[in-house]
Structure 1
């Protein structure tokens, strides 16, 4: 049986890291095309498949916005051709995008001399909203270029025809991750931060785990979150979702959320492809 051609459609906001992502995918062995209008997708992919390219990454963004109305139609056409298609959407908070443009001194693609950068970003979000709804979203607000490349490498390695579960811890003090599908709030659990011996550690360290496991509410919290996910994950899988992001937050994203994410991820690792991200602990 022939392996289906793998196609990654890369979209997102200008300044969110699409150029970095496309270069990373090229390094991973994908043949990359930047800014292809959506109506050309089926034809271009079919031709490249004929020429023997098994892994393709194609960027579609605001520079060809006139073609977005037909994006869903052309995405469906790729699936009907037997392609293994994954849509990735990169975004970041407005202030981060504005800062990146200020640092690079580049013009926004939608700039016409009359719109501010902030207005261009708002317009671009509206234009790309239909694409975002069909994509796996990656929030690059707090990511360095190296971390974005690492996340893409991990995602490409596990993604396939089965839904991938991405478990992410975060700190509420830095805001909700915009790429989350489920969010659980662990701030109601006992906080190891107030123990000076545990403060410098993380939820992956045994002393912190021992501290949390001593409180029965922690086990109850994890069991109830696990039960909810077990109930509804099959419904998302039947809806042909390529990935689902489950986030757990605590105040700083260091102890409680990290521990809970590790426990939840272990519960599903034998059933689904699983990735773990600790947003505030990028090196762990």
Structure 2
């Protein structure tokens, strides 16, 4: 088998955006299969590789619940075939999933007319926990379809076998991102929001950057966050982690957290693959 064959296994909670993700990957040139039972993964991928498809995206989810126990075994089989395999898991907060089902008026695939949506979500989380443990997780709570497509483009573009660092800014007022491995709280830093001229800007704009660079505690915060990461990243790499998400939060996710994420990403970009995500920025 060709080592160039790239496989993205897409899983996650129903209502978390898998259909949008699969269409986005198809637009990026991936040959997509939806709801393939896990035992068929090695055979399907081998046949498609022989037919000349170098990029494959395959959705594996709770609709094939009976086959999930064997998922790790079949994932290992793909790796042994020489495929470049990445697992992507989409999830969202329960309240968001319930709202999405209410708005779409669709039934949950696990309900069978007997369970409530909330009961189905709890059951599905339990069923998929083994897949989530080996996946890169994206929390789609509050994300627009455009943001999700942009994040997927970044994810699909990665080709390095080194651990990828994802630096993500967020606002505490909208809750913690569930996909974060490290969380740094920048709310203790001086807030540009209280300057009327800086309020409409973000941490990517030079006036805000100049304001924060002039504050000694901001530099200290970034230096200590860098030190923490430099100390512990090798341990995660030895644990064969493919992705590590570092989240920095402030009150609204507009100024301090955005600036800190940009600075940390620049520091580590020279030594590791890096992705930047600004959760509260619609076009970032």
TM-score (ref. length: structure 1): 0.96
Which whole-Å CA distance do the structure 2 matches of 1:2 and 1:21 have between them?
25
Quick check: 1:258 aligned with 2:258? yes
Shift of residue 174, structure 1, vs aligned partner? 0.2
Q: What residue number does 1:213 align with?
A: 213
Equivalence map 1:164-175=2 (5 Å): 164-175=164-175
Task: Find the residue that maps to 1:10 and give its secondary structure.
Answer: strand
**1:186-205 deviations in whole A, cap 9, x for unaligned?**
11111111122211111111
Equivalence map 1:77-226=2 (5 Å): 77-226=77-226
**1:105-130 deviations in whole A, cap 9, x for unaligned?**
11100012221111111111111111
Task: Find the residue that maps to 1:165 and give its secondary structure.
Answer: strand
Which whole-Å CA distance do the structure 2 matches of 1:207 and 1:32 have between them?
44
Q: What residue number does 1:8 align with?
A: 8
Give yes or no for contact 2:91–2:139 (8 Å, CA) kept in 1. yes
Give yes or no for contact 2:31–2:57 (8 Å, CA) kept in 1. yes
Shift of residue 240, structure 1, vs aligned partner? 2.3
Q: What residue number does 1:75 align with?
A: 75
Shift of residue 56, structure 1, vs aligned partner? 0.7
Shift of residue 71, structure 1, vs aligned partner? 0.9
Decide which moves more: 11-20 or 1-10: 1-10
TM-score (ref. length: structure 2): 0.96
Task: Find the residue that maps to 1:252 and give its secondary structure.
Answer: coil
Decide which moves more: 55-64 or 225-234: 225-234
Shift of residue 243, structure 1, vs aligned partner? 1.4
**1:169-195 deviations in whole A, cap 9, x for unaligned?**
000000000111111111111111112
Which whole-Å CA distance do the structure 2 matches of 1:45 and 1:62 have between them?
20
Which whole-Å CA distance do the structure 1 matches of 2:210 and 2:3 have between them?
46
Give yes or no for contact 2:3–2:84 (8 Å, CA) kept in 1. no
Shift of residue 2, structure 1, vs aligned partner? 5.2
Which whole-Å CA distance do the structure 2 matches of 1:51 and 1:236 have between them?
37
Give yes or no for contact 1:159–1:242 (8 Å, CA) kept in 2. no
Task: Find the residue that maps to 2:229 and give its secondary structure.
Answer: helix
Which whole-Å CA distance do the structure 2 matches of 1:46 and 1:240 have between them?
25
Give yes or no for contact 1:159–1:273 (8 Å, CA) kept in 2. no
Task: Find the residue that maps to 1:74 and give its secondary structure.
Answer: helix
Task: Find the residue that maps to 1:20 and give its secondary structure.
Answer: helix
Q: What residue number does 1:238 align with?
A: 238
Give yes or no for contact 2:144–2:282 (8 Å, CA) kept in 1. no
Shift of residue 238, structure 1, vs aligned partner? 2.8
Which whole-Å CA distance do the structure 1 matches of 2:197 and 2:55 have between them?
49
> After the TM superposition, which segments of 4 or more aligned residues of structure 1 sit over 3 Å from their partners?
none
Supply the RMSD in Å over aligned alpha carbons: 1.4
**1:48-89 deviations in whole A, cap 9, x for unaligned?**
112221111110000011111111111111111111000000
Q: What residue number does 1:17 align with?
A: 17
What 5-or-longer segments of structure 1 have no aligned partner? none
Task: Find the residue that maps to 1:189 and give its secondary structure.
Answer: coil
